[in-house]
Amino acid sequence: MGLRARKIHALSLLILTAALCCLRPGTPISAQDISSGSYTVLKRYIYPRYNGDSEIQYLVYGATAINKGSLIYLTTPMIDIVDGSYTSIRQIDTIDAKDPYPAPYKLGSEEKILRRFWTSTHHKHSQAWIFAEKATFDKSTNILTSDDPAYFRSRQLDADGIGFDAFNDRKFIHIRSNVRVVLRLREKALKIEEPAPSTSNKGDKQ
C-alpha cells in the first residue's frame, strides 16, 4: 500500500470514528477494500445515543458492524434502552470485548431467571432490551430494522415476534408479525431495588 493510500485509509477510519463516537479503548477494527468502494468492519460495536439534554437514550451493540454510508449492518444486534438518568457512557457497565453477549430469557421464565437477568450489572440501568440475529441501523434516522426473529425484554413486558422496526428517538418499537407477549401486572412487575438503609437506633444516645 502506497503512502497516499495509507493516508486516505487512515483518514477514513478517523472520520468514521469521530462520526460514530462509539469506540471504546481496545475495540478491535479491521478494514477491507472491495471493488465497488470500501467498507469498514467494526467488531464489538457500541454506539451511544444522547438526547438534547445530554442524557443517554440508548446503546446499540453489534458483534460485528459493517458501515456503508449512513447504514450499519449488524450481527447479533442489541438495543439497550437506558432509563434516562445517565449523562456519560462511563457511568454504565457496558458489555466489553471480554464479556459474553447476553441472551434473552425465554417467555414465561420463572422469577429467579428474570431477577438474575435484571440484577446483572449490565442491565441495572436499563428500561428494556431488544435482541435479534441481524439488523440494519440507519444513523441518519436512528431507526433499527430487522426481518429476523426479535426479542423484546423489560421488567413489565416481554415479547417475541418476527421482524421489528425500532424508532429509537420516539421510543417506539413495532414488532411486525407472530407476536407473543407476556405482561406482568403492576403489582407483580419485577422490581429490582437496592436494600433500604438501616433505621436501627441502637447507636443513638438516650
Backbone angles phi, psi at 97, to 5 degrees: -60, -30
| 146-165: average pLDDT | 96
Residue 169 confidence (pLDDT): 73
Tell me whether residue 196 is in a domain.
Answer: no
Question: For the chain, what is the domain count?
Answer: 1
**Distance, CA of 17 to CA of 132 (rounded, Å):** 25
Question: pLDDT confidence of 40, banded at 50, 70, 90?
Answer: confident
Tell me whether residue 84 is in a domain.
Answer: yes
Tell me whether residue 124 is in a domain.
Answer: yes
| 57-72: average pLDDT | 92
User: What is the number of other CB atoms lying within 10 angstroms of the CB of residue 94?
Assistant: 17
| 100-109: average pLDDT | 93
Tell me whether residue 25 is in a domain.
Answer: yes
Residue 189 confidence (pLDDT): 59
Q: Smallest Cα–Cα separation from 47: which of 83, 74, 8?
A: 74
Please name the residues in contact with 153: beta carbons below 8 A apart, sequence gap of 6 or more: 104, 105, 117, 128, 129, 130, 131
**Distance, CA of 202 to CA of 206 (rounded, Å):** 10
Q: What is the extent of the structural domain holding 48?
A: 3-188
Residue 52 confidence (pLDDT): 74
What CATH number did the domain enclosing 46 receive? Answer: 2.60.450.10
Question: pLDDT confidence of 190, banded at 50, 70, 90?
Answer: low
pTM for this prediction: 0.71
